[in-house]
Chain A
């Protein structure tokens, strides 16, 4: 819904993955599957989660707390808070600097993110 002004063609445009990141050391490991909002996707183990999402055509990672505006990839160095997502149940994960792992559950973050409260049934 956020991307209604962007054509389907733009959304699925093929991207060339970079092999050298300006500040991070990482490698493209084995091809693994992970999920995004319940949909199964594939990426390379060890690459930033955001990179795998980008390669799969995912551009919106979260919505802002008050105005509910879409946010996605921006600073790419773990600084700007634009790419916060819920990963394996943990909110506010900086997906642009967090390595992808096999079977990760990646979800769009709505608002500020809710932490797991111990002791609450």
Chain B
């Protein structure tokens, strides 16, 4: 018997938002959820990310969603079945500032975070030096720290959501690219896969930067564009107390992950705005210079390899989470580089929107129409 090509909801894109949505929908009793992923779960931006989990945002909605995310992570491994190790740690996040402008921004962010009950604090360079004597604080003006922030394994996170969704009855179809969306009379009808039509009254697009060409197949323009970002990983060394350390001034960051390796990343606006991955010696040179300036003890630790992945960037570096003008088609994409950690929130919102419930956080700011209305709301804390 051939497989049933109908569903209650179709999800396009098997990154963290697609997999989490499948899980939340299946858990809420939606009987027939189908998730299509063109390669393997986490193969796009999710699995290639630095996988940081933080409260440090500069807009209220992101701070509120981050509180839910970080409430979920400590027990998520067990909640999703416990088969996959999620490598969750809370080793903290430290944002350092070299310019008055960056310091002022960090202070504003921390003031907002504190008003929402987030345990962030500003630290002087003397306080930083006392706590982490191996940091070189020369030229720094101060930093913002939150000890509840952390890390998770981005690949196992997405796969654990996918497996948990399957156990609840969802169909997760990997290496199955969606060719196009189908709509008529301004209503979504389904998708085309391998030349065959799959029908569903509701379709969720969670394909990161690949969402843009897919939306275009039903005549919908969304301002989500790819931007290539790079990361490298070092050989492992014994873990020591070292928070993820980021700098708004040069866009560089570093952190140690549970196996002892360090990740280094750095924003480079000259990188090609493409979906394809690639790498350059320029990244390697630039990022090591930035990181070693802050953490000279890492000199001599060898680099194992580097990789890249595409951010899905919007004009205000904020996600798009909204129903579209095409009835039954809704979006969760455009996270602009901080989307991995919002998997729990994204999944929960997908479920609430599916059932027409009031969302647990007001997501009016994330609406698609804001671009046409020129009502952008910039997220200041991004790299």
Contact = CB atoms under 8 A, between A and B. Distances in A.
A115 B235 contact: no
Interface string A18-33: 0000000000000000
B133 A115 contact: no
A120 B133 contact: yes
A111 interface: yes
Interface in B225-250: 235-238, 240
B296 A115 contact: no
A113 B238 CA distance: 6
B238 A112 contact: yes
Nearest to B302: A92
A114 interface: yes
Contacts of B300: 90, 115
In this complex, the interface size class of chain A, counting residues with CB under 8 Å from chain B, is 10 to 19
A66 B237 CA distance: 13
Given A90-B300, A92-B302, A112-B260, A117 B133 contact: yes
Interface in A82-111: 90-92, 111
Given A91-B237, A112-B238, A117 B260 contact: no
Nearest to A91: B237
B71 to A, nearest CB: 30
Interface string B289-326: 00000001110111000000000000000000000000
Interface of A is mostly: loop
Contacts of A65: 236, 260
Interface string B261-302: 000000000000000000000000000000000001110111
A112 B297 contact: no
Contacts of A81: 235
B134 interface: yes
Interface string A53-92: 0000000000001000000000000000100000000111
B240 A112 contact: no
Nearest to B304: A81
Interface of B is mostly: loop
A119 interface: yes
A109 to B, nearest CB: 10
A65 B258 CA distance: 12
Contacts of A111: 238
Given A90-B300, A118-B297, A112 B237 contact: yes
Contacts of B298: 115
Contacts of A92: 235, 237, 301-302
Interface string B134-166: 111000000000000000000000000000000
Interface string B108-134: 000000000000000000000100011
A119 B133 contact: yes
Contact of B134 (A90, A113, A114, A118): A118
Given A65-B260, A120-B133, A115 B301 contact: yes
A92 B304 CA distance: 13
Nearest to A66: B259
A114 B237 contact: yes
10 contacts: A92-B302, A111-B238, A112-B238, A112-B260, A113-B237, A118-B134, A119-B129, A119-B134, A119-B135, A120-B134
Given A91-B237, A92-B302, 12 more contacts: A81-B235, A92-B237, A111-B238, A112-B260, A113-B237, A115-B237, A115-B300, A117-B133, A118-B134, A118-B136, A119-B133, A120-B134
Closest 10 A-B residue pairs measured CB to CB? A119-B133, A117-B134, A114-B238, A112-B260, A112-B236, A112-B238, A117-B297, A118-B297, A119-B134, A120-B133
